[in-house]
Amino acid sequence: MARDEQWRVPLDFPGTIADLNSNSVDLRDGMRLVLYTDDATKEGDTDELVTAGVVELDHASGRWWARHDWHALRHVSELDEVERLEYLKFRPRNLLK
C-alpha cells in the first residue's frame, strides 16, 4: 500500500476512485472503510491484504487519506470464516471473477 510520511493511505489513486464510485461511496471525515491491496500466495492465487481505516481530509492539500493500524493488515486467507465471507460479499465488484 502506498503511504505518506504520516503512514496514511491516499484515497485519490485512479483505482481507488473507481472502487469508491462503483460502490457509490462519498468520503466523509471519520468514515470507516475497508482498505485492500492486491496480493497473492506463493502459488499465485489471489489473497488481498485488508484492514480497516478511518477517512480524513487533509485540509492543507485537499486530499483524502485513510489512517489505519499497519499491524492489523491481514491477508484474506488469515481472516476467520465470518470476516472472510463479509469481505468477499462487499469487496469491489471489479475483483469478482
pLDDT of 90:
74
Domain range summary for the chain, segments of one domain joined by +: 9-95
Return d(Cα 4, Cα 55) in angstroms, integer. Answer: 14
Contacts by 20-24 with C-beta closer than 8 Å and gap 24+? 22/92, 22/93, 22/94, 23/92, 23/93
3-state secondary structure at position 42: coil
Q: Which three cell numbers stand for residue 41?
A: 500466495
Return d(Cα 64, Cα 89) in angstroms, integer. Answer: 25
pLDDT of 85:
87
10-residue averages of pLDDT along the chain (97 residues)? 80 90 92 89 90 93 92 91 85 52
pLDDT of 36:
87
pLDDT, tens digit, for every residue of 43-52? 999 899 998 8
